[in-house]
Amino acid sequence: MKMERPKTRIQQKNTRTILDAALDVFSQHGFRGTTLDQIAQAAGLSKPNLLYYFPSKEAIHDALLMELMDTWVDPLRHIGEDGHPVEEIVAYVLRKLEMSRDYPRESRLFANEIVQGAPRILDQIEGPLRDLVNEKAEVIRGWIAAGELAEVDPHHLIFSIWSTTQHYADFDVQVRGILRPEGDAHFNDAAQFLEALYRRTLTPR
């Protein structure tokens, strides 16, 4: 079998430049509204040069989504069965909010893919992601059964966390238009609100 040569430093740099530029364009225009010409222009490369690294728009989009899926689910993996239930879930909420602050383009890329019916990551959603969510749902059920957590539906709890945190990235224009924050100051207020909300919801009565 022919071994692939490792990429040179300039090849690694150009690949990263293309992916970063594509993330900007895809997050603004979605997959259908994005063209290779737009990505090449944003990357500061010619279209033929871009095609040397990626054979198609689909290949660039797929590479971004694969990176994103791993990053996006990582905080959920870190919910520990041996930790304090409320603290574990609140930590997950705050980490997801931090990701909305730090990775808004990635969040919008994911949202655009979902709105289109997730044609490129449906197998990931119905496979590894579903398995992980079900695994953590069982952990939450165990905490509830032990009286360490209020009775909530584990799956809808996880969905609500996604909704309340990713909103600040996916609907950034709306949030900023209403709040008119100084920079990202509103994320501190959101963190305090969400922490109090989930602590009240999850603490056993």
* pLDDT at residue 135 in the model: 97
Q: Which residue has the tokens 């490792």?
A: 6
CA distance 186 to 183: 8
Tokens of 29: 């225009």
> How do residues 81-138 score in pLDDT, each as one tens digit?
999 999 999 999 999 999 999 999 999 999 999 988 999 899 999 999 999 999 999 9
This prediction's pTM:
0.88
Tokens of 83: 């930790």
> How do residues 32-84 score in pLDDT, each as one tens digit?
899 999 999 999 999 999 999 999 999 999 999 988 888 889 999 999 999 99
Reported in sequence order, the residue ranges of the chain that DSSP labels E, i.e. its strands, are: none
DSSP letter assigned to residue 129: I
Taking each helix axis from N to C end, the angle separating 57-77 and 9-29, rounded to the nearest 10 degrees, works out to 90
CA distance 26 to 176: 21
CA distance 92 to 161: 8
CA distance 27 to 187: 21
- For each of the domains in the chain, give its residue range(s) and CATH number, in order of start: 1-55 (1.10.10.60), 62-202 (1.10.357.10)
Cα of 44 vs its chain's centroid, Å: 26
Q: Are 31 and 112 in contact (CB under 8 A)?
A: yes
Residue type, 121: I
CA distance 50 to 81: 45
Query: pLDDT band for position 8 (50/70/90)?
Result: confident
Tokens of 114: 């979902």
Tokens of 17: 């430049």
Q: Which residues, in sequence order, are CB contacts of 178 under 8 Å at separation 6+? A: none
